[in-house]
Amino acid sequence: MNSRDRLLALLVAVCWGLNFPATALALEHFPPLFMVALRFALVAVPTILLVPRPQVRLRWLIGTGLGIGVLQFAFLYLGMAAGMPSGLASLVLQASAPFTVLLAGIFLAERITRRQVVGIGLAVTGLAVIAVHRGETAALLPVVLTLAGGLGWAIGNVCSRKAAAPNPLHLTLWMSVVPPIPMLAVALAVEGPQRIGRSLSTAFTVDALPAVLGLLYIVVVATLLGYGIWNTLLSRYPSSAVAPFSMLVPIVGVLSSWALFGERIDMVEAAAGVAVVGGVLVGSLPFRSRARAAGIARRRAEEERGEGALSSPNDDDVAGLEGDPSECGVAARAAGIARRRAEEERGEGALSSPHDDDVAGLEGDPSGCGVTAPVRQP
């Protein structure tokens, strides 16, 4: 994942972290199940009228909507309405990250690297410390409901990855078409028409203004902006590379809940938060191997001695490939090297090296970057 996309993932974490106090404000006025239907209906109506349907299989569109739209938010809102503090909810919901990695390994056959296991383990340890430390503030049922919401989020992540939408924003918008009708039916059955009608009839009063503003933040920022970026990242990278960034959400959630509602944060939570951030960095930053670093150092030394950048391209560039093969820059460079070698062989016939087979082994583009190395014909 490049630096720009990491910053976008961090922006999503901030948007979603602030979403928890916004949700707490909205739930003070709107019933939880009805609020799920309402938030997505506000997006679904203009989507149906103005946005083309994404070119994805219907089952993955429905799966994304059910996972993220129905399961995640129905259980999350029920948990918060049952007494889960917004800061603690932001922590427990991050169980979606290990759920996503596990489901992606099972259903998408995505390989989980040792470094990702270490990073996720470190982050989960930090989350566990925070959850245990603050567990006294929430009963068991709200915690279980919020965990179920995390599992729903993970299911939606995997379905979004399988959808591989050409335009992820369209998938984000059309995902919102799925929840309103089933959630409205459930809300009418569970919460009752009178309670729902009362929340609508008083929505434009002064007392309801914080709840309405919270709902607008949820719709515009958390749903449109947040999931638009998130689904874009999922379409570019494996789920196991994107999901760990969701672990930064509770840091923002805890801090914003403390600032707005006075929810206490102490040194134990701060130290555990550092572990969460460290785990995300370990699991997501590109790895530069010793061989790759040595190759770059040798090439720079040769250039400084005046030997030219092409004096020994094979060893350095192939050594550079021993890092993360999913990096687009590495794959593009390998393709360029292979093309150059092929041209040299056609012109001079004596510049091949034992490393040609290694670069040729990149055929099939394991990076997913759309760059493949030409293979030398025998």
DSSP characters over 81-125:
HTT--HHHHHHHGGGHHHHHHHHHHHHS-PPPPHHHHHHHHHHHH
The pLDDT tens digits for 195-246 are 999 999 999 999 999 999 999 999 999 888 887 888 788 888 887 788 778 7
The pLDDT tens digits for 261-320 are 887 766 787 788 778 777 776 766 655 555 555 565 666 666 666 644 444 444 444 444
* DSSP conformation letters of 178-205: SSHHHHHHHHHHHT-HHHHHHHHHTTTS
Task: Show Cβ contacts of residue 348 under 8 Å, excluding neighbours closer than 6 positions.
Answer: none
CB of 153 within 8 A of CB of 93? yes
As a whole number, the mean pLDDT across the chain is 77
Does residue 16 sit in helix, strand or coil? helix
What CA–CA distance (Å, rounded) separates 179 from 90? 22
Q: In the predicted model, what is the mean pLDDT of residues 116-122?
A: 84
Q: In the predicted model, what is the mean pLDDT of residues 361-365?
A: 37
Task: Show Cβ contacts of residue 175 under 8 Å, excluding neighbours closer than 6 positions.
Answer: 61, 64, 65, 68, 69, 156, 160, 227
The pLDDT tens digits for 127-178 are 788 777 766 655 678 888 988 999 998 999 999 889 988 888 888 899 999 9
The pLDDT tens digits for 306-329 are 644 444 444 444 444 444 444 444
H or E segment at 151? Answer: helix 140-163
pLDDT band at 339; cut points 50, 70, 90: low
Q: Which residue has the higher pLDDT, 176 or 254?
A: 176
Residue found under tokens 């149906």: 48
What CA–CA distance (Å, rounded) separates 278 from 155? 25
